[in-house]
Each structure stands twice: as structure tokens, then as C-alpha cells.
Amino acid sequence: MRFSQASARFLGHCRSAISLSKHTLRAYTGDLSDACRFLTPPQKRANEVGKEDLRRYIRHLREERQLKESSIKRRLATLKLLFRWMKDEEIIQQNPFDSLNERIRLPRRLPRALDRLQAGLLRKAVAAPNGTTGFDVLCQKTAIQLMLETGIRVGELSNIKIDDVSLADQTIAIHGKGNRQRIVYLLSPAFQHSLQRYIERRARIESASDKLFITRSGLDLTPPRIRKSLREISAAAGVQKHLTPHMLRHTCATHWLESGLDIRYVQRLLGHQSISTTEIYTHVTNQGLREALQRATGRRSDN
């Protein structure tokens, strides 16, 4: 079987058998199309791709195209999944990654979060607007409030259905990565009021969509639109950062841990499969502790 055919079959398997999100499928498709163009002439068979081909591809990505290490690591991760699947399906006998001694070293970056002053400015900017506010603005501000309250991912936000919301229980069912479901809690009375008013306004919009967040035209509110709204609203609020939805997620995690919430609870609220993913936020809070201590001791007289 040709390598390109095996890639196409693997993508079909991802669509039907393991129900990946459309965003993950789009990333896999792009990664494998790029690899196919470099690794194989049209007739090259899957079992003819070896570790030297992979090394050439890594050098090509790093030296000729000068991609970031994180981009290279993601493309290789997709290829690893493909080769593992081909081995399981007996399309190949040997997996070249088993003997490939190449490590991609990523610089350690701590997640960026808003401090309490910046978060307060943003909360004030998206607080329940008056009754004359247009529906699209109300929708976008309510969506941003929800991310600030719960730390959910922007893709999870756009996939929330009306039936996932229980105002009576003050909860929302979130469908996360790997089709894992979790519950987030709406404990702020102010946000409960905002969400209830948004839902009442949404009921008057004609739409065939079952999603919670829609535009006044009845179309689903998409992640790119949410990102654009967040940039506009945060800039108007005076938040001097290039703000992304994921920074709101980092902000929630950091503030929860600083407030003493057990890391296992934070893991569940964020939908992390591994506790090690959540542990990075302990470095952020320790860094905040160090900075606070330095400010305090800097004001102390040594005399």
C-alpha cells in the first residue's frame, strides 16, 4: 500500500472509529499532507519509509523551513500515531519511530495569566449589560464571562448545547477532548443572572442550531469570532495584553490554586487527563509567591 493511501485510510479511521473533533482532524490532515509531499514520491510504499527519511524530514522542518520546535513536535506526534496505526493494521512490519533517536526539546514556558486587577477589568467589561444591548454583544459578553468563570476551552464553549445547561443545578455539561464529559459549576449569582437573561433572549432568535451560543442570524458562534470579540472587549477595557481564550483558562487555574483549591479538583474542572498537565500551574503560583515576597522584603528596612 502506498504511503499516501495509508494516510488517507488512517484519517478515515480517525473520523469514524474514534470520533475526533473537527479541529483535531483538520490538524492531522494538514500534518499528514505536508509529510506526504516531502517523504514520498507518488508510488512509494508505506513500508519503504524509514528512519532516515524521518530524520531528513526533521532537518527540513528545522533548518530549511525554520519551524518552531513546538510545530515540529506536533507534526511528528501525528506521524507517530499514523505509524503506530499502520503497525497495528499490519500495513508495515517495522515502525521506524522505534529506532529513531531524535528528541525535540521545547523551551519551558509558564502559562500566561491575567493578574487580579486585569481580570477585574475584564469582568467589569463583560458584566451584564443593560436591556438595550444588541443580541450579538450580549452573546459574546456572556460567552467570555463563562470562560472567566469556568476555565473551559474555546472549542468546548462553542460546542455547548442548550440541553447541556441546568440553571436549576447551576451546572453545565462540557464535552471535552477525547469525547470526555465533565461538569462545571456556575456559582456566581451575577453570572447566573447574565446567563439566564441571555437564554431568554436566545429563545426569541430563529435558529435551527441546538448550540447555546449563536449569532442574531441564528448561526453558531465560532471560536474565531469569540477570539476576535475577546481582543476587542479586552482592549476597550484597558487590559494591556494580547488576550486569548486560553489565557482565561490559565487565569482560572492560577487563581483557583492561589485560593487553596486542591490540585485534583483543578484537574477535574479543567478536564486534564493527567495531573502532570495541571501541575505546571503550581510553578506559576510559586512564581507569584516569590514576586510577592520580593516586593515585601524590598520595602523592609535592613537597619
Residues facing residue 214 across a β-bridge: 220
Q: Is residue 177 annotated as a catalytic residue, yes or no?
A: yes
Which among 249, 283, 246 is positioned nearest to 267, based on CA atoms? 249
Between CA 80 and CA 118 the distance in angstroms is: 41
Catalytic hit among 62, 241, 246, 268:
246
Catalytic hit among 123, 153, 202, 250:
153
Catalytic hit among 141, 225, 250, 272:
272
Q: Is residue 153 annotated as a catalytic residue, yes or no?
A: yes
Which among 124, 142, 80, 150 is positioned nearest to 239, based on CA atoms? 124
**First vs last C-alpha separation in the chain:** 79
Q: Is residue 283 annotated as a catalytic residue, yes or no?
A: no
Residues facing residue 211 across a β-bridge: 161
Which among 25, 289, 247, 246 is positioned nearest to 153, based on CA atoms? 246
Other CB atoms within a 10 A radius of the CB of residue 293 amount to: 10
Do 6 and 45 meet the contact criterion of CB atoms below 8 Å apart? no
At a CB cut-off of 8 Å and minimum separation 6, what does 246 contact?
Answer: 111, 153, 154
Catalytic hit among 9, 80, 177, 211:
177
Scored b (16 or more CB within 10 A) or e, 175-185 reads bbeeeeebebe
Catalytic hit among 75, 141, 249, 250:
249
Angle between helices 69-88 and 22-39 (to 10 degrees): 90
Q: Is residue 250 annotated as a catalytic residue, yes or no?
A: no
Catalytic hit among 28, 57, 198, 281:
281
Do 163 and 210 meet the contact criterion of CB atoms below 8 Å apart? yes
Q: Is residue 193 annotated as a catalytic residue, yes or no?
A: no
What 3-state class would DSSP assign to 289? helix
Q: Is residue 255 annotated as a catalytic residue, yes or no?
A: no
Write the burial class of residue 240 (CB in 10 Å: 0-12 exposed, 13-18 middle, 19+ buried).
exposed
At a CB cut-off of 8 Å and minimum separation 6, what does 247 contact?
Answer: 111, 112, 113, 114, 241
Active-site residue numbers? Answer: 153, 177, 246, 249, 272, 281
